[in-house]
């Protein structure tokens, strides 16, 4: 168990800088998820923590010690890879025990440790199988087992669930979270899936183009996004964005519609109004917006409604039981406190 | 594929009508027939020398130039003569030792170099790879003179080492192994690196078992190549005790006449180890050759 601390981490390939000074502190036992679109530098960051990529500049501390120049094996971390990286020519027992090869423990101790880990992952009856006799989920569990067996100070997960089908992914997500609650190790988890990030993380780090956009709890990044990118990246379907301009607490939208807003900002000028579909409710009486229903997407418990409002398509959520009629004109209502306001020029959130 | 389960396309139906004969097969089968005949012919061409080799080994000298496949008076005398001649075993052992050692050396070093060229990113690795590949373009005949000069200077003439050294590593093997290591995901190696293995251990315990088919294919290629090698062993050896089998067999012909029946018997016996090697590795070799073809 250990803290991981990253200071001003920079990575360049030749003249191309891909990480532009990352700062991050992961507390002991914390589950941190790095999330972002592909190419945002999240995997590179993780690989630098693991010691698989050279550090161009900056510092990485694990357990309070500077590890910049240490080999991966000297960092006392374990990593789980996207394609599991379990060896097809070895049994599950050997795969799990692989991490102990270099340990000085006795054979009996090693065997006991393997059994303990297998027990924890409920794989005891699979120990003598070969990887090709295992399902995707079981293989991933072997990979996790191999990581656990050395009892590392931190676990690094590099998109471990993206090769699994949707149902298995949900299941493994839960298993990893439970495992963390039971074992309590520090975990840094990389994914491009915002649902994975939201469901598992203690804190989420949202990255884009080699910069950290926001670090916060799932609640923070969802309800208080610091900029347009985070607001749109987190939450599905993504936040509706409407251009307009702000003056004296009133946003005038492109169509001329005026929306009074709950803000203390003194900003004047072009702004973007952000509304989560969840906060945009179909209303029978009053509503700030009015438009025609273009498309309905029933999801069972709720229905996504695509409404064209003043030439702009907005997504709203309606009840799954009594959705609006396709082609009808409906009213949409959003509470002022649920509206998000962003500076159109910088993309930063306005309070 | 039988003629009945072929679906006849409209175009070939028109052709069928012009033929006016209900018993005529679809034209596609003519093509099939020609293909079979070509393949059959090719097969015969390849098998004939082996059949003649076997046939001649059972003939008396007077019958050697008679091209009949079945000897009129079959005999095992040739086998007796060759096997009782101590030199044959001597040459056989020489060939075996040299082929086995060279094979082991190639499997070890070619894969090591191929691995390094494939998985380590160091400046100039592309140039090194091209340099190694370019040696494939130089025919053995041209290399024989520098090899010979080298052997003379270093005192390697007429030694096992002298026979073996040019083949201890091959550019082809390096190329083959490099291409195969491309199929090994880096994650495997990185996982092992994190688990604390050094680079040699990673290569040996993780990467090598994953390219077994290629190793088997390489082993067969190298073994066969060295087992049948002729020019270099002939040049580098002087004493009969150091002859390899192919070189030794030619001595059956240096006396007053060419004793074909003995040469053929020796040749027939010398195919046995290659047969054994092939039987051991055959389940790998086809996969190996196919994969090498795909990657190359």
pLDDT for residue B37:
92
- Tens digits of residue pLDDT in A112-159: 999 988 988 888 898 999 988 888 888 888 998 888 888 888 999 999
- Lowest mean pLDDT, pick from A50-54, A285-289, B34-38, B228-232: A285-289
Q: Where are the beta strands (DSSP E) in A194-301?
A: 203-208, 211-216, 240-247, 250-253, 258-260, 269-275, 281-283, 289-298
Q: Is B288 helix (H, G, I), strand (E, B) or coil?
A: helix
Quick one: B44 and B110 in the same domain?
no
Specify whether domain A4-227 bears CATH 3.40.50.300. yes
List the structure tokens of B97.
């030792």
Provide, as residue numbers in chain B, all residues whose Cβ is less than 8 Å from the Cβ of A97: none
Which band of pLDDT confidence, cut at 50, 70 and 90, is reported for residue B14?
very low
The answer to whether position B247 is within a domain reads yes
Q: Does A104 touch chain B (CB under 8 A)?
A: no
Q: In terms of Cα–Cα distance, which of B277, B279, B247 is closest to B263? A: B247
List the structure tokens of A285.
């009486």
Spatial separation of the C-alpha atoms in residues A115 and A155, rounded to whole Å = 20
Q: Does A150 touch chain B (CB under 8 A)?
A: yes
Which band of pLDDT confidence, cut at 50, 70 and 90, is reported for residue A218?
very high
pLDDT for residue B5:
45
Number of domains in chain B: 2
- Tens digits of residue pLDDT in A163-206: 888 888 888 889 889 889 988 889 999 999 999 999 999 999 99
The answer to whether position B67 is within a domain reads no
pLDDT for residue B26:
56
Quick one: B183 and B108 in the same domain?
yes
Class of domain A237-350: mainly beta
Of B252 and A64, the one with more pLDDT: A64
Quick one: B41 and B166 in the same domain?
no
- Tens digits of residue pLDDT in B183-221: 888 888 999 998 888 999 999 999 998 888 889 889 888
Region B89-111: mean pLDDT is 94
Quick one: B101 and B158 in the same domain?
yes
CATH number at residue B280: 1.10.3720.10
- Tell whether the model's pLDDT for residue B123 goes beyond 80: yes
Which band of pLDDT confidence, cut at 50, 70 and 90, is reported for residue A287?
confident
Phi, psi of B22 (to 5 degrees): -70, -25
The answer to whether position B181 is within a domain reads yes
What's the full length of chain B, in residues?
Answer: 296
List the structure tokens of A172.
């493994």
Quick one: B51 and B92 in the same domain?
no
pLDDT for residue B288:
57
- Segments making up each domain of chain A, as ranges: 4-227, 237-350
Spatial separation of the C-alpha atoms in residues A217 and A311, rounded to whole Å = 35
- Tell whether the model's pLDDT for residue A267 goes beyond 90: no
Quick one: B121 and B203 in the same domain?
yes
- Tens digits of residue pLDDT in A16-67: 999 999 999 999 999 999 999 998 999 999 999 999 999 999 999 999 999 9
Which band of pLDDT confidence, cut at 50, 70 and 90, is reported for residue B29?
confident
List the structure tokens of A96.
């799990």
Quick one: B45 and B89 in the same domain?
no
- Tell whether the model's pLDDT for residue B295 goes beyond 70: no
Cα distances (Å, whole numbers) of residue A263 to A252, A255, A286, A332, A350:
14, 21, 22, 21, 8
Nearest to A85 among B188, B196, B209 (CB): B188
- Lowest mean pLDDT, pick from A266-275, A299-308, B64-73, B122-131: B64-73
- Tell whether the model's pLDDT for residue B10 goes beyond 50: no
- Least Cα separation, residue A48 to chain B (angstroms): 12
Closest residue in A to B185 (Cα–Cα): A85
Quick one: B172 and B244 in the same domain?
yes
- Lowest mean pLDDT, pick from A248-252, B95-99, B185-189, B240-244: A248-252
B220-249 as b/e, with b when 16 or more CB fall inside 10 Å? bbbbbbbbbbeebbbbbbeeeebbbbbbbb
Provide, as residue numbers in chain B, all residues whose Cβ is less than 8 Å from the Cβ of A78: 194
Q: Calculate the average pLDDT of chain A.
A: 89
Cα distances (Å, whole numbers) of residue A207 to A29, A92, A230, B76, B177:
22, 35, 9, 82, 39
Quick one: B156 and B46 in the same domain?
no
Which band of pLDDT confidence, cut at 50, 70 and 90, is reported for residue B19?
very low
Q: How many CA atoms lie within 13 A of A136 on its CB side?
A: 14
- Least Cα separation, residue B101 to chain A (angstroms): 26
First to last CA, chain A: 38
Listed in sequence order, the DSSP H helices in B58-165 are 77-84, 86-119, 125-134, 140-154, 160-164
Q: Does A81 touch chain B (CB under 8 A)?
A: yes
Quick one: B126 and B265 in the same domain?
yes
The answer to whether position B71 is within a domain reads no
- Least Cα separation, residue B200 to chain A (angstroms): 14
- Least Cα separation, residue B294 to chain A (angstroms): 22
The answer to whether position B46 is within a domain reads yes
Spatial separation of the C-alpha atoms in residues B201 and B179, rounded to whole Å = 20
A65-66, strands of its sheet edge to edge: A16-26, A4-13, A57-62, A65-66
Q: Structural domain of residue B24, as residue ranges?
A: 10-57
Residue B193 to residue A101, Cβ atoms within 8 A? no
% of chain B surpassing 90 pLDDT: 39
- Tell whether the model's pLDDT for residue A247 goes beyond 80: yes
Residue A102 to residue B206, Cβ atoms within 8 A? no
3-state DSSP percent of chain B in helix, strand and coil, to 5: 75, 0, 25
Q: Is A244 helix (H, G, I), strand (E, B) or coil?
A: strand
Quick one: B30 and B161 in the same domain?
no
Listed in sequence order, the DSSP H helices in A185-235 are 194-200, 218-223, 228-233
pLDDT for residue A29:
93
A211-216 and A203-208 as β-strands: parallel, antiparallel, unpaired?
antiparallel
The answer to whether position B4 is within a domain reads no
């Amino acid at each position: 168990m250990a803290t991981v601390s990253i200071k001003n981490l920079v990575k360049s390939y030749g003249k191309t800088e891909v990480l532009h000074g990352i700062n991050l502190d992961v507390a002991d036992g914390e589950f941190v998820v790095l999330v972002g679109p592909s190419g945002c530098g999240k995997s590179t960051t993780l690989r630098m923590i693991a010691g698989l990529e050279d550090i161009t500049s900056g510092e990485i501390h694990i357990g309070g010690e500077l590890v910049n120049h240490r080999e991966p094996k000297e960092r006392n971390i374990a990593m789980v890879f996207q394609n599991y990286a379990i060896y097809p020519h070895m049994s599950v027992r050997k795969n799990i025990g692989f991490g102990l090869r270099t340990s000085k423990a006795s054979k009996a101790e090693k065997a006991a440790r393997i059994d303990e880990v297998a027990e924890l992952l409920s794989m005891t009856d699979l120990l003598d199988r070969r990887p090709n006799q295992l399902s995707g989920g079981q293989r991933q569990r072997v990979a996790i087992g191999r990581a656990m067996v050395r009892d590392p100070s931190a676990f690094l997960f590099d998109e471990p669930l993206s090769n699994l089908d949707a149902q298995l992914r949900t299941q493994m997500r839960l298993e990893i979270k439970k495992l963390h609650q039971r074992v309590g190790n520090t975990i840094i988890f990389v994914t491009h899936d915002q649902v994975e990030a939201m469901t598992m993380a203690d804190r989420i780090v949202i990255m884009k183009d080699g910069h950290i956009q926001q670090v916060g709890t799932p609640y923070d990044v969802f309800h208080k996004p610091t900029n347009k990118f985070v607001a749109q990246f987190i939450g599905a379907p993504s936040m509706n964005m409407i251009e307009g301009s702000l003056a004296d607490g009133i946003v005038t939208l492109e169509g001329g519609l005026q929306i009074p807003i709950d803000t203390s900002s003194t900003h004047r000028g072009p702004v973007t109004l952000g509304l989560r579909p969840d906060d945009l409710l179909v209303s029978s009486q009053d509503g700030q917006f009015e438009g025609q229903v273009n498309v309905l997407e029933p999801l069972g418990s709720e229905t996504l409604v695509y409404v064209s409002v003043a030439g702009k398509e907005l997504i709203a959520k309606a009840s799954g039981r009594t959705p609006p009629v396709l082609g009808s004109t409906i009213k949409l209502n959003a509470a002022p406190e649920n509206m998000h306001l962003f500076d159109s020029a910088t993309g930063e959130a306005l309070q | 594929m039988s003629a009945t389960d072929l679906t006849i396309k409209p175009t070939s139906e028109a052709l069928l009508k012009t033929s006016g004969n209900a018993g005529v097969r679809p034209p596609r089968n003519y093509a099939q027939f020609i293909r079979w005949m070509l393949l059959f012919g090719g097969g015969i061409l390849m098998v004939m020398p082996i059949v003649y080799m076997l046939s001649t080994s059972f003939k008396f000298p007077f019958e050697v130039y008679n091209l009949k496949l079945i000897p009129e008076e079959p005999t095992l005398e040739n086998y007796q003569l060759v096997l009782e001649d101590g030199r044959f075993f001597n040459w056989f052992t020489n060939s075996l030792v040299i082929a086995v050692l060279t094979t082991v050396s190639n499997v070890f070093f070619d894969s090591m170099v191929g691995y390094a060229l494939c998985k380590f990113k160091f400046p100039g690795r592309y140039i090194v790879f091209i340099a190694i590949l370019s040696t494939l373009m130089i025919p053995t005949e041209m290399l024989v003179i520098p090899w010979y000069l080298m052997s003379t200077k270093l005192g390697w003439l007429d030694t096992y080492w002298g026979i073996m050294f040019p083949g201890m590593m091959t550019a082809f093997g390096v190329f083959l192994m490099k291409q195969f290591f491309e199929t090994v995901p880096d994650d495997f190696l990185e996982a092992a690196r994190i688990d604390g293995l050094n680079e040699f251990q990673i290569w040996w315990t993780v990467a090598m078992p994953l390219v077994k088919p290629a190793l088997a294919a390489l082993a067969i290629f190298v073994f066969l190549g060295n087992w049948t090698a002729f020019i270099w062993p002939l040049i580098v050896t002087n004493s009969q005790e150091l002859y390899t089998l192919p070189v030794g067999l030619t001595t059956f012909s240096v006396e007053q006449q060419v004793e074909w029946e003995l040469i053929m018997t020796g040749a027939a016996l010398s195919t046995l180890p290659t047969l054994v090697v092939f039987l051991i590795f055959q389940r790998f070799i086809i996969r190996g050759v196919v994969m090498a073809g795909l990657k190359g």
